[in-house]
Structure 1
Amino acid sequence: MSNIADQGAKPAETRSAVVRQAAEWLVLLASPEASAADEAAFNAWVQADPAHRNAVVTMRGFVGKLSAVASDTSQRAVLQQALHKPASGRGWRNAVAAMLLLGAMLGSWQLLNPWSAMFADLSTETAEWKNEVLPDQSHLALASATAVDINFSAHERKLALLKGEILVDVAPDPERPFIVQTPHGTMRALGTRFVVTLTDSGTTLTMLHSKVEAKTEAQDQTRIVSAGEQVVLSAEHISTPVAIDTESVAAAWSAHQLMVQDQPMDQVLDKLWRYRRGIVMYRTADMEAMHVSALLPLDDTDRALQLLASSFPLRIRHLTPWLSWVEKVERPQSAARVSQAPAQGSSK
């Protein structure tokens, strides 16, 4: 794969070129013809420039968009051919490459947006957790693939969540409000402990203690969110609060577990991606009807996927250590329901 390996970091290297190279690397590593030398060359390419590493990490975010692309009959046939003919060599690679690059073009904004996180003040890699004590003695916990900028002044304490998920335990300081900012709005702590999760579709605020004043980016809506409530912010709207069990949420965070309640399977798979080294692919149309209530291990995403497959009509195909395919299979209706954890739900 010398045509990729020779493409080191260049001052004028464009983001689109880096994205294309990352896609080509992932295709190569997912193919049967990948060798130990290719893997070594890939590792060297990743280490050559932080932008290369970030492109590989963020690649997981847009691959999910392929499920929408693959809803088209002709494009789905190409993807199915790529998945079911792994021995066809270059033709297999070209089919997957076409789908990857098509997904990159359709989801270019979503893909490139996280690049601002490259130079964050605090960050974690995939499957890494981190706990920090901030200058004001507040405690900040970062989940997997998270990036935060810190801006403390004499007048305020501000965190900018660039990607991922944080848990904040705010130290009191009446003279300096504590604010968490995301692209969707701001959350002003009123002496509190809370979790903030940033995704493409919105910012989720989960209150564990006391209160937060949430305000949309457009600043046309404000809401006080209290302990035991969860809301989702978009740039213009704050959802109606839903009740959450604060002790369960805190315990799940401490144990590195994903707790979901009646969520569509595609959303659950998306959440697992952030904790997994590699790519998970699926068809959204196959997953939306399956609703999950589960407690899943985030430090062992292979086990999490198998727990889902044991409770739902799913098959997990680990094509390579970097690429897994989740597909719906025919199963008796009764097999799609379970009565107790670790994974439970229904398939309609």
Structure 2
Amino acid sequence: MVTPHPTPEQQIRAEAAAWLSRLQGQQTPELTKKAFRVWFDEDEAHRNAFEAATEIWDILPGAVLLETSSEPSERPRHRRTAALIALAAAILAMIGIGYAWLTPQSTVYATTVGRQETIVLSDGSRVDLNSDSQITMFYNNRERRLRLDRGEAMFDVRKDPRRPFTVLSGDERVRALGTTFVVRRLPRATVVTLTHGRVEIARAQGMRQVAMAVLSPGERASITQRAGLVIDRPPIDIVTAWRNGEVIFEDANLMDAAREMNRYAGSKSVVVDASVANLRISGIFGIDELEQFAIAAATLHQLRIERQGGEIRLVPPMRQPVANKASERRAG
């Protein structure tokens, strides 16, 4: 029987059955395991429901056959998948939940390089996506969960005490309630900046969620595997300038500034020679003003601009030749 409007308890049991079926695969993807650990640690009700589902799984004859088959590697993949789904459906039937809740629904939003987009979610919350960014959204009547797959996004969260709002970025989890904050996902780091409200940051470690920090408005948390957690207070207008189509630099490293401008460029990019990488630059530029940025940096530090294909290279000035003393005497 399908329940049109399941209670929170029913939905938790359905989620537990769905997770159990996914985890029975011989080669469960690591991402699936991490997602399960997040769900499992999130609430004691999740853990209790999963334990109950596991007990039911163990007494089902099909589960025993599935796990003790002498030649599992020779079984066609689709037959194993069908068996897992059938077993999960059996668990759901035993606990009174319909099959329709086995498959979570997700929605993906993405922007290309140089484009930005504002998304108003069904609960009234708003997400501003920066250039070359993507989020995957999982909403139900118990929680609001979004995953930042790449790039940067600003979240303006509508308060709903019954449904926590969580943003996942790699192993980091940012939990908010009536809050505005920015999350940026880098190759080896996650950066969270809070503008209003309160957020809690945790990290997945094995089967546990380890609390890392609770941010106050104006604080920025930078999380890396090597350095751990670093909290500072940057100028908020610099962090959020991209929402107005601008990039603001305040005594920034020239190499880092060029990389930031390149986030919004398509076929062109600014390349900074290593010998001048540590020069500093300040200023306000439009996200589409790559050329103007290069010219301003070259003018400020007397650099040369060289062009090669789509690259705008900033290199040191040419050295003036030293006059030969003998030549100077002859000239005199």
The answer to whether the Cα contact below 8 Å between 1:184 and 1:235 also exists between their aligned partners in 2 is: no
Aligned pairs for 1:323-338 within 5 A: 323-330=310-317
The answer to whether the Cα contact below 8 Å between 1:120 and 1:147 also exists between their aligned partners in 2 is: no
Structure 1 residues 259 and 216, CA gap change in structure 2 (3 angstroms): farther
Matched, 1:266 2:244: no
* Unpaired runs of at least 5, structure 1: 1-118, 333-348
1:217 Cα offset (Å): 3.9
The answer to whether the Cα contact below 8 Å between 2:114 and 2:132 also exists between their aligned partners in 1 is: yes
Structure 1 residues 265 and 247, CA gap change in structure 2 (3 angstroms): closer
Report the equivalent of 2:160.
173
Report the equivalent of 1:195.
182
Paired residue type of 2:250: Q
SS in 2 for 1:191: coil
The answer to whether the Cα contact below 8 Å between 2:247 and 2:284 also exists between their aligned partners in 1 is: yes
Deviates most, 309-318 or 146-155:
309-318
The answer to whether the Cα contact below 8 Å between 1:221 and 1:237 also exists between their aligned partners in 2 is: no
Structure 1 residues 193 and 238, CA gap change in structure 2 (3 angstroms): farther
User: So what's the TM-score if we normalise by structure 1?
Assistant: 0.55
1:227 Cα offset (Å): 0.9
Which of 186, 209, 233 is equivalent to 1:243?
A: 233
Structure 1 residues 153 and 237, CA gap change in structure 2 (3 angstroms): farther
Report the equivalent of 1:60.
none
* Unpaired runs of at least 5, structure 2: 1-105, 320-332
Structure 1 residues 262 and 247, CA gap change in structure 2 (3 angstroms): closer
Report the equivalent of 1:234.
224
SS in 2 for 1:282: strand
1:242 Cα offset (Å): 1.3
Q: Distance in 2 between matches of 1:217 and 1:243?
A: 25
Report the equivalent of 2:214.
224
The answer to whether the Cα contact below 8 Å between 1:298 and 1:304 also exists between their aligned partners in 2 is: no
The answer to whether the Cα contact below 8 Å between 2:258 and 2:272 also exists between their aligned partners in 1 is: no
Paired residue type of 1:265: L
Report the equivalent of 1:215.
202
Q: Would you say how many aligned residue pairs link Structure 1 and Structure 2? A: 211
Q: Distance in 1 between matches of 2:170 and 2:314?
A: 33
1:262 Cα offset (Å): 3.7
Structure 1 residues 283 and 249, CA gap change in structure 2 (3 angstroms): closer
Aligned pairs for 1:2-41 within 5 A: none
SS in 2 for 1:206: strand
Structure 1 residues 173 and 280, CA gap change in structure 2 (3 angstroms): same
Report the equivalent of 1:343.
none
1:120 Cα offset (Å): 7.3
Q: Distance in 1 between matches of 2:265 and 2:134?
A: 16
Paired residue type of 2:202: K
SS in 2 for 1:241: strand
Q: Distance in 2 between matches of 1:331 and 1:242?
A: 40
SS in 1 for 2:229: coil
Report the equivalent of 1:145.
132
The answer to whether the Cα contact below 8 Å between 2:199 and 2:215 also exists between their aligned partners in 1 is: yes
SS in 2 for 1:121: strand
Structure 1 residues 314 and 163, CA gap change in structure 2 (3 angstroms): farther
Q: Distance in 2 between matches of 1:267 and 1:184?
A: 25
Aligned pairs for 1:102-113 within 5 A: none
Q: Distance in 1 between matches of 2:107 and 2:275?
A: 37
SS in 2 for 1:305: helix
Report the equivalent of 1:182.
169
Deviates most, 123-132 or 283-292:
283-292
Note the aligned Cα RMSD (angstroms). Answer: 2.6
Matched, 1:127 2:114: yes
1:283 Cα offset (Å): 5.4
Paired residue type of 1:172: K
Structure 1 residues 177 and 260, CA gap change in structure 2 (3 angstroms): farther
1:148 Cα offset (Å): 1.0
SS in 2 for 1:239: strand
Matched, 1:308 2:297: yes
User: So what's the TM-score if we normalise by structure 2?
Assistant: 0.57
1:260 Cα offset (Å): 3.2
1:154 Cα offset (Å): 2.2
1:246 Cα offset (Å): 3.0
Paired residue type of 1:276: A
Q: Which has the higher contact order (CA 8 A, sep 6+)?
A: 1
Q: Distance in 1 between matches of 2:251 and 2:228?
A: 20
Structure 1 residues 271 and 153, CA gap change in structure 2 (3 angstroms): same
Q: Distance in 2 between matches of 1:309 and 1:276?
A: 19
The answer to whether the Cα contact below 8 Å between 2:305 and 2:315 also exists between their aligned partners in 1 is: no
Q: Distance in 2 between matches of 1:221 and 1:288?
A: 37
Structure 1 residues 300 and 221, CA gap change in structure 2 (3 angstroms): same
Q: Distance in 1 between matches of 2:173 and 2:119?
A: 21
The answer to whether the Cα contact below 8 Å between 1:221 and 1:236 also exists between their aligned partners in 2 is: no
SS in 1 for 2:291: helix
Q: Distance in 2 between matches of 1:300 and 1:164?
A: 20
1:244 Cα offset (Å): 2.5
1:134 Cα offset (Å): 0.8
1:331 Cα offset (Å): 8.2
